[in-house]
Amino acid sequence: MADIRIPSTIKLGGGSVQEVAEQLSQFRCRRPLIVTDPFLMSQGLPLQIRDRLTASGMESGIFSDTVPDPTSKVVEAGSGVFVSGAYDSLVSVGGGSPMDTAKAIGMLAANGGRARDYKVPYAPPRKGPIHVAIPTTAGTGSEVTRFTVISDSETNEKMLIAGANLVPDGAIVDYELTLTMPRRLTADTGTDSLTHAIEAYVSRRANGFSDSFALAAMKTIWEQLPIAFAQGENRAAREAMMLAATQAGLAFSNASVALVHGMSRPMGVHFHIPHGLSNAMLLPAVTAFSLSGAPERYGDCARTMGIAQANLSNEAAAEALVQALYRRNEELEVPTPKMYGIPEADYFELVPTMVAQALASGSPENNPRVATAGEISAIYRGCWSGSAQGKL
């Protein structure tokens, strides 16, 4: 039995960001706090949204101190601003970090305590204030998910927090906000979406609802990401990627992510690797390791993405998927941890810690082939220089 949760309203299409006041009015909100980041503030988008809200008779404030890997310290500061300002709702504007920060701000405003009190498996019991999410990247899918990832400022642990009460009430998915995304960000967020789709489909918690979104998303992303990467101004590719990112978000929010994400979060927090990039570093090797757990599901992925012909066996199609993922990483210029500049001694010294944190997140348990601590360690070590391509 699947427990399906999605936002009550999702606005799609170019220019839909202009309807933010209308969406808030539907929820009877009058005093929203806009949560964003310093870069977007410098570009002016949050100010434009605030002006539109003001023109509609709403009073709004801006919290722009979010950081690339949201921290519990920032979340607590934002919650303080929300409560002291007597705001009645949240509008998150940006990539996954502002959206995840806004979810956690609302969680603390409604439930009190500290972010660590609600890390998996302890879901926040009370729903937070109304939250309208506006993504500016085609990647995280956080605008439709029941997850937030917060780094504990004291322990440096990247915590997964999950629960139905974290799903935003509304989402505005406007692809025009992604037209200026740089190549690296386009590749990394796009691969994050692809990982969401694949992991949702092969997850032990997959279901018919999530399957439909996962398959649609992976097909589009595989076709359109190279175009968006090479031709950032291509509106058709950007629109397709934005929709696919939301579809992938709906898929994994109502199924789960698995081993890639469980391993990716510790890499990101310890070495400050963008989340989508750390997913990309791991995706081919983790897929190779996982094939035996669900060859028919991985075969479906390969055929849906156009990597394998319909008459190819599941095992052969799944193997073709792995090799295609390695080639795609080359095409998108994805570095190995070694190429990224991480000191070798630091990386290998932290492998045991990363293994423990990956297992503690719970995500590896959803993988079609459940990995032991030793197997996760071997994948981390093999990914260091890419020497484990196709061998795990």
What pLDDT shows up at residue 157?
85
Delimit the domains of the chain by residue range. 9-178, 183-383
The reply to whether omega before 121 is within 30° of 0 (cis) is yes
Q: How do residues 2-24 score in pLDDT, each as one tens digit? A: 789 999 999 999 999 999 999 99
CATH topology of domain 183-383: Dehydroquinate synthase-like, alpha domain (1.20.1090)
| pLDDT (average), residues 281-295 | 98
The stretch 345-350 carries a mean pLDDT of: 97
Considering only 79-88, 128-137, 149-158, 325-334, which range has the smallest mean pLDDT? 149-158
Q: What is the pLDDT averaged over residues 204-226?
A: 98
DSSP alpha helices (H): ranges in 158-202?
Answer: 183-202
Percent of the chain with pLDDT strictly greater than 90: 93
pLDDT tens digits, residue range 51-85? 999 999 999 999 999 998 899 999 999 999 999 99
| pLDDT at residue number 386 | 81
Residue 38 has pLDDT above 50, yes or no: yes
Task: Using the predicted structure, report yes or no on whether residue 152 has a pLDDT greater than 90.
Answer: yes
Cα separation of 81 and 77, whole Å? 6
Fold of the CATH domain 9-178? Rossmann fold (3.40.50)
List, for residues 82-128, the tens digit of each pLDDT value.
999 999 999 999 999 999 999 999 999 999 999 999 998 999 999 99
What is the average per-residue pLDDT within 340-357? Answer: 96
| Fold: same for 9-178 and 183-383 | no
Q: Would the pTM of this model clear 0.75, i.e. be above it?
A: yes
Quote the pLDDT of residue 255.
96
- Residue range 201-205: average pLDDT? 97
Q: pLDDT band at residue 389, thresholds of 50, 70 and 90? A: very low
d(CA 65, CA 312): 51
User: Using 50, 70 and 90 to split pLDDT, how confident is the model at 387?
Assistant: low
The pLDDT of residue 269 is 87
Question: For the chain, what is the HEC assignment?
Answer: CCCCCCCCEEEECCCHHHHHHHHHHHCCCCCEEEECCHHHHHHCHHHHHHHHHHHCCCCCEEECCCCCCCEHHHHHHHHHHHHHCCCCEEEEEECHHHHHHHHHHHHHHHHCCCHHHHECCCCCCCCCCEEEEEECCCCCCHHHCCEEEEECCCCCCEEEEECHHHCCCEEEECHHHHCCCCHHHHHHHHHHHHHHHHHHHHCCCCCHHHHHHHHHHHHHHHHHHHHHHHCCCCHHHHHHHHHHHHHHHHHHHCCCCCHHHHHHHHHHHHHCCCHHHHHHHHHHHHHHHHHHHCHHHHHHHHHHCCCCCCCCCHHHHHHHHHHHHHHHHHHCCCCCHHHHCCCHHHHHHHHHHHHHHHHHCCHHHHCCCCCCHHHHHHHHHHHCCCCCCCCC
For residues 198 and 385, the model is more confident at 198
